[in-house]
Chains A and B, each alone.
Chain A
Amino acid sequence: MSGHEYIPKSKVGKWFNDRLPLLTLANHLTDYPTPKNLNYWWTFGGILTFCLITQIVTGLVLAMHYIAHADMAFDSVEHIMRDVNYGWLIRYIHANGASMFFLAVYIHIFRSLFYGSYKSPREIIWIIGIIIYLLMMAAAFMGYVLPWGQMSFWGATVITNLFSAIPLVGEGIVTWLWGGYSVDNPTLTRFFTLHYLIPFLILGLVVLHIWALHVPGNNNPVGIDIKKPSKDTVPFHPYIVIKDGFALLMFMIVFAFFVFYTPNILGHADNYIEADPLVTPAHIVPEWYLLPFYAILRSVPDKLLGVVAMLSAILILAALPWLDTSKVRSAVFRPLYRQFYWILVADVLILGYVGAMPAEGLYLLIARVATAYYFLHFLVILPVLGLKEKTVPVPLSITEPILGGSPNLATAKNKESLNN
């Protein structure tokens, strides 16, 4: 990538590197030319890597003390909270870590939507990202089942029952998923196994995600192709490393606040009641990060179509590089798209809100409108907008934009011209 061949200075290094070019890889990673105008929205890739590692490490320690058995799971979690040294810390980091992970991934995804990072030549990075996101949801859902509280049990019952909507084989599939005729011990043990497996699949996909990123290089706020290396780029180390580190520390402060001062606010109180198959909670709600999709599911009156709508809402993202017909990547130069972008953000937040509310009356109506708009955005607005929209002139490079001055000035001037 960096354009020159790397030769280790020491003899041993050269001997080793000729056989396994790990040093070349390390050199590629540190030299990796990165656009110098990346803003703080670009730091969430590094933050997400931190989240994944944190979840894996704390998860390993928890797994040493947790017992995946319907009669003992809840007790073993309390054992971790009370008697394991710093067990409360590890568990609260893991539980809140899941929320932090999703918070970061949503910012990461919406950054990509704003700056058009999913467009050619970065479609594969984007699609791998969607698969990672799907796996994250699966891992988070199964992880929430493990403490075997009321929400664990009933959440698992609701979600697995979705498969019964499949015609003909649905019921059979549900029985197969459960390992019996209801959510019970076999369900818990398999969910634990899969919950342990999925993070490592994600780790592998993250390697592919970064590999695919290093072929075309990063997109940037201006959204133009840049020469690499050039005046427009800086080496990843130390410039991006320190900037990512700074952003990560800010993120960790927020994370620490949740862990140490409001560790249970993101969870549901009912999950501190041991699972009881005979008592259904008043409202079964998933964790906050799944709420928008839960709202879409419930907004369709038919069960099968509801499931189809929910899955489509995620899978439609994979088709995004082809649905968005605009040649211009960054929303900075797309005055109309920018407005629709913020409407979409609001739409998803509204879906999340109504997902937490009972599906009745006004809430249901709002959920239906918001669901319809969600699909309208991707299926109609984006394809049409790309063809009709009058975009603002795009600079030729980051350092020498058409308007002169610094790259940020170029962006600022463009914004100004838009406002006028």
Chain B
Amino acid sequence: MKSFFKFLILLFAFLGTSFNSNSAEKVEYLKTDWSFKGLFGKFDRGSLQRGYQVYTEVCSSCHSMKYLSYRNLAEKGGPEFTIEQAKAIAASFEVKDGPNADGDMFTRPGKLSDKFVMPYENVKAAQAANGGAYPPDMSVLVKARGGGVDYIYSLLQGYEDPPAGISLDDGVYYNKYMYGNKIKMANQLSDGLVEYADGTTASVEQMSKDVTTFLMWAAEPHLEARHRMGFKAIVYLIILTALVYFSMKRIWSRIETEV
């Protein structure tokens, strides 16, 4: 039994190292405390709401979020805007609908059931407006990057003047956390860029953290429910395992063999 556990531990240690090494280039990302990590990790509501503000005022002019609906903003485990707030947010967007009875397309104010309005009609239009680079959809962006939240958080703060000897084309910027260091997105954040409704100082660091938290929720809207259920499930399993262990000892005590 002992050697068995030793083997399992070794195996997991091995698996762990081999996955981390999947990312080819090692860069030390900037670290910050994420409230949603750990056994009981939850989102910071204020941070999510501020993050949404940064997303709409800054990111959303180029980046779509096609898998989210306005109703999600009021759902449990998310930014938890009130229904009225979410309705007002939705209504502030023009949504293309139709065809109507006359066969015409028309625009109307957004509703809770609408998906987030996209900044461009399609990928080609997005590329044309951004020097050929498609600003990736942000719905699952955090999960689609090796470094996850730390990577996004660092990238937003990673703009620097290029080191001597590196020349950049027009519309290409230097970022020390970007794969290959060349990025087509210009530095978007500057201190005081947005005015937070709750009075928080909008430093670059603060905005990076808020918007990254928001992106994490966008990618994993059920994260809180998952953590809650996970804790209950594991506690339940541990208790059951203990009970079964003692029953097993009892049953096997009928014969002279160790289990």
Tell me if B110 is interfacial: C-beta within 8 Å of chain A. Answer: no
- Given A36-B257, A78-B67, A260-B234, A249 and B240 contact (CB-CB distance below 8 Å): yes
User: Nearest B residue to A253 by beta-carbon distance?
Assistant: B237
Q: How far is the CA of A40 from the CA of B3 in the complex (A)?
A: 10
Stretch at the interface among B154-162, B167-175, B186-194, B241-249: B241-249
CB-CB under 8 A from B179, the residues of chain A are: 282
Task: Establish whether residues A349 and B14, one from each chain, have CB atoms under 8 Å apart when the complex forms.
Answer: yes
- Given A269-B143, A353-B18, A356-B22, A256 and B241 contact (CB-CB distance below 8 Å): no
Q: Is the interface of A mostly helix, strand, loop or mixed?
A: helix
Q: Is the interface of B mostly helix, strand, loop or mixed?
A: helix
Task: Establish whether residues B144 and A269, one from each chain, have CB atoms under 8 Å apart when the complex forms.
Answer: yes
Tell me if A264 is interfacial: C-beta within 8 Å of chain B. Answer: yes
Task: Establish whether residues A260 and B230, one from each chain, have CB atoms under 8 Å apart when the complex forms.
Answer: yes
Tell me if B204 is interfacial: C-beta within 8 Å of chain A. Answer: no
User: Nearest A residue to B180 by beta-carbon distance?
Assistant: A282
Count, chain B residues at interface, CB 8 A = 49
Q: How far is the CA of A288 from the CA of B15 in the complex (A)?
A: 8
Query: How near does chain B come to A419, taking the closest CB pair, in angstroms?
Result: 15
CB-CB under 8 A from B39, the residues of chain A are: 261
CB-CB under 8 A from B100, the residues of chain A are: none
Task: Establish whether residues B22 and A89, one from each chain, have CB atoms under 8 Å apart when the complex forms.
Answer: no
* A interface footprint on B177-206 (CB within 8 Å = 1, 0 otherwise): 001000000000000000000000000000
* B interface footprint on A82-100 (CB within 8 Å = 1, 0 otherwise): 1000001100100000000
**Which of these, A88, A272, A356, contacts B140 with CB under 8 Å?**
A272
Task: Establish whether residues A246 and B245, one from each chain, have CB atoms under 8 Å apart when the complex forms.
Answer: yes
Task: Establish whether residues A253 and B15, one from each chain, have CB atoms under 8 Å apart when the complex forms.
Answer: no
Q: How far is the CA of A408 from the CA of B255 in the complex (A)?
A: 14
Stretch at the interface among A117-125, A235-243, A313-321: A235-243
Count, chain A residues at interface, CB 8 A = 53
* A interface footprint on B120-142 (CB within 8 Å = 1, 0 otherwise): 00000000000000001001100
Tell me if B108 is interfacial: C-beta within 8 Å of chain A. Answer: no
CB-CB under 8 A from B33, the residues of chain A are: none
CB-CB under 8 A from A239, the residues of chain B are: 251-252, 255
- Given A260-B227, A269-B146, A288-B15, A249 and B237 contact (CB-CB distance below 8 Å): yes
- Given A272-B143, A357-B21, A408 and B4 contact (CB-CB distance below 8 Å): no
Task: Establish whether residues A264 and B143, one from each chain, have CB atoms under 8 Å apart when the complex forms.
Answer: yes
Task: Establish whether residues B22 and A285, one from each chain, have CB atoms under 8 Å apart when the complex forms.
Answer: yes
Task: Establish whether residues A243 and B19, one from each chain, have CB atoms under 8 Å apart when the complex forms.
Answer: no
**Which of these, A266, A270, A357, A408, contacts B19 with CB under 8 Å?**
A266
CB-CB under 8 A from A89, the residues of chain B are: 226, 229
User: Nearest B residue to A110 by beta-carbon distance?
Assistant: B7
CB-CB under 8 A from B24, the residues of chain A are: 282-283, 358
Tell me if B1 is interfacial: C-beta within 8 Å of chain A. Answer: yes
Listed from nearest, the 8 A-B pairs whose CB atoms lie closest are A260-B230, A272-B144, A249-B241, A272-B143, A242-B248, A272-B140, A88-B222, A78-B67
The 10 listed contacts between A and B (C-beta, < 8 Å) are A249-B237, A253-B234, A260-B234, A261-B39, A263-B226, A266-B19, A269-B144, A283-B22, A283-B24, A288-B19
A contact set with B: CB distance below 8 Å: 36-37, 39-41, 75, 78, 81-82, 88-89, 92, 103, 234, 238-239, 242-243, 245-246, 249-250, 252-254, 256-257, 259-261, 263-266, 268-270, 272-273, 282-283, 285, 288, 291, 349, 352-353, 356-358, 406-408
